[in-house]
């Protein structure tokens, strides 16, 4: 008996590309959650020196990373609801930095406005790319 294994699909029924996306998102979102927690601790510890609105941006970032992480966990188990959770987290991850750039004065944070805008644009491109790649794999997800 000869069995052939599809090169695009692992033995658990999950496509290899979806597995790679999930692993990359676990790494990125895990670091995002860790960074969000550390940022909240730092912002609360140095509250008198932090600009107004910084805590809100930290909370939005933590919520975005947490939703992306949980949504990816669901998609790794081939659940379609994970895509919706990931999408909501990614949109929050796009909107949060835009709000930050528009509302927090860069002279307080010590960062050039062009550098901040470049970071936001790169974040939008990366989030958009991952949304498109997960959307391409949505056909493999079930209820």
The predicted-structure confidence for 40-83, as pLDDT tens digits, reads as follows: 887 777 767 666 667 788 888 999 999 999 999 999 999 999 99
Predicted confidence band at 5 (pLDDT cuts at 50, 70, 90)? very low
Q: Which two tokens stand for residue 22?
A: 């999930």
Q: Where are the alpha helices (DSSP H) in the chain?
A: 16-45, 54-76, 81-103, 106-109, 113-136
List of residues 6+ apart from 52 with CB closer than 8 A: 104
Contact 100, 68 (CB under 8 A): no
Which pLDDT score, from 0 to 100, does residue 115 have?
Answer: 84
Question: What's residue 17's pLDDT?
Answer: 96
- The span from the CA of 83 to the CA of 76, in Å, is 10
Rounded Cα distance between 142 and 118, Å, is: 37
Q: Look at the pTM and tell me if it is higher than 0.85.
A: no
Q: Would you say 6 and 17 are in contact if contact means Cβ atoms under 8 Å apart?
A: no
Average pLDDT in the chain: 85
- Residue 3 has a pLDDT of 41
pLDDT of 4 above 50: no
Per domain, the residue ranges of the chain are 16-140
106 compared with 112, residue with greater pLDDT: 112
Q: What are phi and psi of 84, to 5 degrees?
A: -65, -45
Decide which of 116 and 17 is more confident.
17
């Amino acid at each position: 008996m000869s069995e052939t294994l599809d090169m695009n699909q692992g033995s658990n029924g999950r496509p290899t590309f979806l597995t790679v996306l999930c692993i990359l998102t676990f790494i990125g979102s895990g670091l995002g959650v860790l960074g969000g927690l550390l940022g909240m601790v730092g912002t609360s510890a140095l509250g008198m020196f932090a600009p107004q609105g910084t805590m809100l941006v930290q909370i939005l970032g933590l919520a975005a990373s947490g939703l992306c992480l949980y949504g990816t966990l669901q998609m790794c188990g081939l659940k379609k609801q994970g895509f919706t959770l990931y999408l909501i987290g990614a949109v929050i991850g796009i909107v949060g930095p835009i709000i930050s750039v528009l509302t927090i004065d860069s002279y307080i944070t010590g960062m050039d406005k062009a550098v901040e805008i470049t970071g936001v644009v790169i974040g939008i491109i990366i989030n958009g790319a991952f949304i498109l790649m997960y959307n391409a794999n949505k056909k493999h997800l079930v209820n």
